[in-house]
Amino acid sequence: MSPKTLYDKIWDAHVAHEADDGTCLLYIDRHLVHEVTSPQAFEGLRMAGRPVRAPEKTIAVPDHNVPTTADRVNGIENPESRIQVEALDKNAKDFGIHYYPVNDVRQGIVHIVGPEQGWTLPGMTVVCGDSHTATHGAFGALAHGIGTSEVEHVLATQTLIQKKSKNMKVEITGKLQPGVTAKDITLAVIGETGTAGGTGYVIEYCGEAIRDLSMEGRMTVCNMAIEGGARAGLIAPDETTFEYVKGRPHAPKGAQWEAALTWWKTLFTDEDAHFDKVITLRGEDIAPVVTWGTSPEDVLPITATVPQPEDFEGGKVEAARRSIEYMGLEAGQKLSDVEIDTVFIGSCTNGRIEDLRAAAEILKGKKIKDGMRAMVVPGSGLVRAQAEEEGLAEIFKEAGFEWRLAGCSMCLAMNPDQLQPGERCAATSNRNFEGRQGRGGRTHLLSPAMAAAAAITGRLTDVRELM
């Protein structure tokens, strides 16, 4: 048998039908659903009189629209947001799918809830009407975002019409330097490949620096695979993975656990398997990074300066000029001189317990700069509870951070957590697009520790100075 990549193995285990031209029906093991990209899909099912084929494999949770202030227990004020969340309440009930409503302690960002509850397991196919579904690839699951028509397709048939992507290997060798995190790895990779560099590929991340990461860190890395254009990001499961999964509410138990483990241990790339593209970075070379522009590929070490548009080639010259103008920066300006007024810690990229620990470590015993608006939005109600138990919430509050309830919040600003025009935010989220965090708002992406450092000094800051 010819050697296979991890992606090949998971793909092969899920092909329900293959047409002569290579178009496949790929069986989906887990379908995650949220309130923004699903109402039209459920409406489509109703109009065609179709049921959900596998409600037991379908999990819904509202996250994009939900307010994160304590008063949300009294209902959602914005009428449009309320309608979307109520539609999900009703659709979950009518179609009999698993559901974590807004006021359930297990509610949170769909990509944090799935792994936390043990819905996401190695070797699975996982989809969701959300591009950051790539997160689940951290478990060695083939996970990717889909559009609403495909959400309807999966609800109706539990399959997707797919053609296989190409294989890409991203290897991070060696050890990371102090102050460098999973977020810096994933941003550095996008800086290297560009936002279209992964288009047409599924990425497998490997190497010592990846192996050394916790599951939380691996989820951060895979989460942003989509920002590099890849369909999905994967990391082969190992003891770290099994340890995380074991005992979760929906993880297999007893004899089933043993059977699962036996299969999971076969999920790795065979020696000599073929990759269509290979990128290698040395872990030691990765510095704490920030973004300066309006594309996630606009990444530089915090010690660098804003580039000159002329440093680029082709269409990127104009794009860089536009970005620098939108961001209110000047070419040649030191990134560590850029003053910020808002800090956002949270999102499916960096809203897990380890992220909050890293930020709290920097903030302990310190205060945020006067006038700074800083908020922590835990990724789920359970992350929030754990952070309170560990005393992290107190550290954030004493430093001057707002301590919020779980949701997507200011990552995409569909709820009331938004930037005003011209405001500048150090954000642990995943996109720095124009207007992403609010019309006219300016976003610098960075790690939770870097965000904490920026909150203290009031400017983009090399976290190593505060360690």
Partner 1 sequence: MEKFDKVHGVAAPMPLINIDTDMIIPKVHLKTIKRSGLGVVLFDEMRYHDHGGENEDFVLNKPAYRQTEILVAGDNFGCGSSREHAPWAIKDFGIKVVISTSFADIFFNNCFKNGILPIVVEEEHHAILMDDAHKGENARMTVHLEDQQITTSDGVVIEFDIDPHRKHCLLNGLDDIGLTMEKDHHIDKFEDHASQARPWV
Residues 194-213 that bind partner 1 (CB under 8 A): 195-196, 199-200
Among 55, 174, 435, 458, binds partner 1 (CB under 8 A): 435
* Closer residue to partner 1 (CB): 269 or 295: 295
Show contacts with partner 1 in window 255-314 (CB under 8 A).
Answer: 256-257, 259-260, 263, 295, 297, 314
**Residue 131 or residue 240: which is nearer to partner 1 going by CB?**
131
Q: Applying CB under 8 A, which of residues 159, 167, 181, 447 lies at the interface with partner 1?
A: 159
- Of 27 and 344, CB closest to partner 1: 27
Contact 386, 119 (CB under 8 A): no
Closest CA to 87 of 154, 41, 156: 41
- 3-state SS, residue 349: helix
Q: Is 347 in the site for partner 1 (CB under 8 A)?
A: no
Per CB under 8 A, the list member of 69, 106, 157, 373 interacting with partner 1 is: 157
Judged by CB under 8 A, which of 12, 318, 337, 388 binds partner 1? 318
| Binding flag, residue 150, partner 1 (CB under 8 A) | yes
User: Residue 4's closest CA among 256, 218, 266?
Assistant: 266
The answer to whether 250 and 29 are in contact (CB under 8 A) is: no
Nearer to partner 1, 384 or 444 (CB): 444
Asked if residue 21 binds partner 1 (CB under 8 A), the reply is yes
- Residue-wise over 241-257: b if at least 16 C-beta within 10 A, else e? bbebbeeeebbbeeeee
In angstroms, the CA 46 to CA 126 distance is 24
The three-point CA angle 172-447-395 to 5° equals 135
**Strand 442-445 and strand 424-427: pairing?**
parallel
**Do 283 and 209 contact (CB within 8 A), yes or no?**
yes
| 371 sits near partner 1 (criterion: CB under 8 A) | no
Which span sits near partner 1 by CB under 8 A: 67-75, 105-113, 208-216, 428-436? 428-436
The residue among 290, 346, 341, 216 whose CA lies nearest residue 463 is: 290
Binding track, positions 109-148, relative to partner 1; x by CB under 8 A: ------------x-xx----xxx------------xxxxx
Least Cα distance to 426 among 323, 339, 366 occurs for: 339
Rounded distance between C-alpha atoms, residue 279 and residue 21, angstroms = 30
> Least distance in Å: CB of 320 to partner 1?
10
| Residue list 43-102, contact with partner 1 (CB under 8 A) | 43, 48, 50, 53, 57, 64-65, 78, 80-81, 83-84, 87
Q: What is the dihedral of CA 431, 433, 437, 442, to 10 degrees?
A: 110
How many residues bind partner 1 (CB under 8 A)? The answer is: 80
Least distance from C-beta 70 to partner 1, angstroms? 23
Q: Quick one: which of 12, 16, 243, 246 contacts partner 1 (CB under 8 A)?
A: 16
Q: Quote the tokens at residue 236.
A: 């082969």
- 442 near partner 1, judged by CB under 8 A: no
Question: Hey, is 207 helix, strand or coil?
Answer: coil
Two tokens at 460? 């983009």
Q: How far is the CB of 376 from partner 1 (least distance, A)?
A: 21
Q: Which position among 6, 8, 11, 37 is part of the footprint of partner 1 (CB under 8 A)?
A: 37
| C-alpha separations of 416 from 9, 375, 384, 421, 448 in Å | 43, 13, 20, 15, 22
Instruction: Please say which residue, 87 or 466, places its beta carbon nearer to partner 1.
Output: 87
Candidates 69, 89, 106, 156; binder of partner 1 (CB under 8 A) is: 156
Q: Tell whether residue 241 is a contact of partner 1 (CB under 8 A).
A: no
Backbone phi and psi for residue 92, each to the nearest 5 degrees, phi listed first: -65, -40
* CB nearer partner 1, residue 318 or residue 337: 318
